[in-house]
Amino acid sequence: MKPEPAPPLKYLAAYPAHVLAQVQSLLEQGQLGLMLLKKYPCAHAVRTDKALYDYVQEIKATKLRGSEPLSKVAFDSKLHVMAHALGTHTTVSRVQGSRLKAKREIRVATLFKDTPIEFLRMITVHELAHLKERAHDKAFYQLCCYMEPDYHQVEFDLRLYLTHLDLGGKLDWPASPLYVLNLKIS
Ligand SMILES: [Zn+2]
């Protein structure tokens, strides 16, 4: 039987041993945080629930047309990051008049306020994909990769950051000068 991975690498348990060995080595050399800051140089500017709603809707409208409407999108400080693969998608049933109406909500853990846009995009794509595919199966990940071709790499990098965070290493991503000036480059 394979031994359980050491607790610091719990976010990476699904990856092969040679990858974990590399991560362990980066951690021992204190290089993991620097590597992440180099690859993803700045924070995004999606700071409020309203901004998050607009951000999610834009991806939904361009990449997942025809999917069910969302009634709510919000940052959630009570959300445990890994309770459900980094975010939650819920179908809340409420009685409206005499019938039950299902409402779709997306909640994103508050820690994603202070990350690069790539991480926020990955979690957004993950939760949007659940509007069409419930299980984490092949069709689900195909949809994720359709919306974000680099999905798997970014998820891995995000898990590296969560590992770093778990060891007390919150990274302070600087705001992009472009965001400060409120310009958009894409
Ligand atoms: Zn999921």
Ligand 1 centroid distance, CA of 130 (Å): 7
Ligand 1 centroid distance, CA of 89 (Å): 8
For 106-112, what is the mean pLDDT?
89
For 149-161, what is the mean pLDDT?
94
DSSP H helices in 11-113 = 17-28, 32-39, 49-63
Distances 44 to 32, 39, 184 between C-alpha atoms, Å = 20, 14, 11
pLDDT tens per residue across span 76-100: 887 765 544 454 555 444 444 455 4
Question: What residues have their beta carbon closer than 5 A to ion ligand 1?
Answer: 85
Q: Which CATH number fits domain 33-169: 3.30.2010.10, 3.40.50.12140, 3.20.20.70, 3.30.420.40?
A: 3.30.2010.10
Ligand 1 centroid distance, CA of 29 (Å): 33
Q: Which two tokens stand for residue 102?
A: 């299902």
Number of H helices, E strands in the chain: 7, 3
**57 pLDDT more than 80:** yes
The pTM assigned to this predicted structure is 0.83
Q: Which helix (H) or strand (E) holds 94?
A: strand 87-96
Could you tell me the residue ranges of all domains in the chain?
33-169
Ligand 1 centroid distance, CA of 147 (Å): 15
Ligand 1 centroid distance, CA of 43 (Å): 24
Q: Which residue has the higher pLDDT, 179 or 71?
A: 71
Ligand 1 centroid distance, CA of 122 (Å): 11
